Chain A
Amino acid sequence: MVDWKPSASLQNLQQRAYVLAKIRRFFSERAVLEVETPLLASSTVPDAYIESIAAQVVEGNSNRKNFLQTSPEFFMKRLLASGSGSIYQIAKAFRQEEKSARHNIEFTLLEWYRLSYSLDQLMAELEELVQEVLDCGPISRLSYREIFRQHLQIDPHEILLEELQELASSEIDLSGSDLSKTDYLQLLLSNSIEPKLPPFCIIYDYPSEQAALATVATDEHGVVVAKRFELFGHGMELANGYFELSDAAEQRARFEKDNATRKEKGLQAHDADEKLIAALESGLPSCSGVAVGVDRLLMLLVDAKHISEVISFDSERV
Chain B
Amino acid sequence: MATYSTSEFKSGLKVLIDSEPCSMIEVEKVKPGKGQAFDRVKLRNLVNGRVWERTFKSGESVEAADVMELEMEYLYEDGEFWHFMKTDDSFEQVAADINAIVDAKIWLKEQDKYTMVLWNDAPISVTAPNFVELEVTDTDPGLKGDTAQGGTKPATLSSGAVVKVPLFVNIGDRLRVDTRNSEYQNRVTK
- Cβ A49 vs Cβ B35 within 8 A: yes
Interfacial residues of chain A within 175-191, with CB under 8 A of chain B in the complex? 175-176, 178-180, 182-183, 186-187, 190-191
- Cβ B55 vs Cβ A175 within 8 A: yes
For B35, the closest partner residue in chain A by CB is A186
Given contacts A97-B7, A175-B60, A176-B60, contact A240 B34 (CB under 8 A): yes
Q: How many residues of B contact A (CB 8 A)?
A: 21
For B57, the closest partner residue in chain A by CB is A176
How far, in Å, is A128 (CB) from chain B's closest CB?
A: 22
Tell yes or no: A59 within 8 A of B by CB: no
- Cβ B29 vs Cβ A100 within 8 A: yes
Instruction: Give every chain B residue within 8 A of A291 (Cβ-Cβ).
Output: 33
- Within the assembled complex, what's the spacing in Å between the Cα atoms of A212 and B34? 8
- Cβ B36 vs Cβ A183 within 8 A: yes
- Cβ B32 vs Cβ A179 within 8 A: no
- Residue-wise, chain B 29-43 has the 8 Å CB interface mask toward A (1 for contact) of 111111111101000
How far, in Å, is A310 (CB) from chain B's closest CB?
A: 18
- Cβ A173 vs Cβ B33 within 8 A: no
Tell yes or no: B54 within 8 A of A by CB: yes
Given contacts A183-B35, A186-B36, A187-B38, contact A174 B29 (CB under 8 A): no
Contact of A210 among B7, B35, B38, B53 (CB under 8 A): B35
How far, in Å, is A50 (CB) from chain B's closest CB?
A: 8
Tell yes or no: A253 within 8 A of B by CB: no
- Cβ A175 vs Cβ B54 within 8 A: yes
- Cβ B55 vs Cβ A191 within 8 A: yes
- Cβ B31 vs Cβ A103 within 8 A: yes
Total CB contacts across the A-B interface at under 8 A: 67
Given contacts A174-B55, A176-B57, contact A240 B33 (CB under 8 A): yes
Instruction: Give every chain A residue within 8 A of B37 (Cβ-Cβ).
Output: 49
- Cβ A100 vs Cβ B33 within 8 A: no
- Within the assembled complex, what's the spacing in Å between the Cα atoms of A47 and B34? 8
- Cβ B52 vs Cβ A173 within 8 A: yes
Tell yes or no: A317 within 8 A of B by CB: no
For A168, the closest partner residue in chain B by CB is B55
- Cβ B34 vs Cβ A174 within 8 A: no
Tell yes or no: A25 within 8 A of B by CB: no
- Residue-wise, chain A 290-308 has the 8 Å CB interface mask toward B (1 for contact) of 0100000000000000000
For B43, the closest partner residue in chain A by CB is A173
- Cβ B36 vs Cβ A237 within 8 A: no
How far, in Å, is B67 (CB) from chain A's closest CB?
A: 19
Instruction: Give every chain B residue within 8 A of A178 (Cβ-Cβ).
Output: 57
Instruction: Give every chain A residue within 8 A of B57 (Cβ-Cβ).
Output: 175-176, 178-179, 183
- Cβ A49 vs Cβ B38 within 8 A: no
- Cβ A103 vs Cβ B35 within 8 A: no
- Cβ B54 vs Cβ A173 within 8 A: yes
Tell yes or no: A98 within 8 A of B by CB: yes
Instruction: Give every chain A residue within 8 A of B7 (Cβ-Cβ).
Output: 97
- Cβ A237 vs Cβ B56 within 8 A: no
Contact of A237 among B28, B32, B38, B62 (CB under 8 A): B32
For A185, the closest partner residue in chain B by CB is B35
Tell yes or no: A57 within 8 A of B by CB: no
Interfacial residues of chain A within 156-205, with CB under 8 A of chain B in the complex? 172-176, 178-180, 182-183, 186-187, 190-191
- Within the assembled complex, what's the spacing in Å between the Cα atoms of A175 and B62? 10
- Within the assembled complex, what's the spacing in Å between the Cα atoms of A183 and B36? 6
- Within the assembled complex, what's the spacing in Å between the Cα atoms of A64 and B12? 42
- Within the assembled complex, what's the spacing in Å between the Cα atoms of A3 and B52? 35
Tell yes or no: A99 within 8 A of B by CB: yes
Given contacts A49-B36, A49-B37, A186-B36, contact A99 B56 (CB under 8 A): no
Tell yes or no: A101 within 8 A of B by CB: yes
Q: A178-B57, A191-B55 are in contact. List 4 more A-B contacts (CB 8 A).
A: A173-B53, A175-B62, A176-B57, A182-B36
Interface residues of A (CB under 8 A from B): 47, 49-50, 97-103, 172-176, 178-180, 182-183, 186-187, 190-191, 210, 212, 230, 237, 240, 291
A-B contact pairs, 28 of them (CB 8 A): A49-B32, A49-B35, A49-B37, A97-B7, A98-B31, A102-B31, A103-B29, A103-B31, A173-B52, A173-B55, A174-B54, A175-B54, A175-B56, A175-B62, A176-B56, A176-B57, A176-B60, A180-B36, A182-B35, A183-B35, A183-B36, A186-B35, A187-B36, A190-B32, A191-B40, A212-B34, A237-B33, A240-B34
Q: Closest 5 CB pairs between A and B?
A: A100-B29, A173-B54, A183-B36, A186-B35, A175-B56
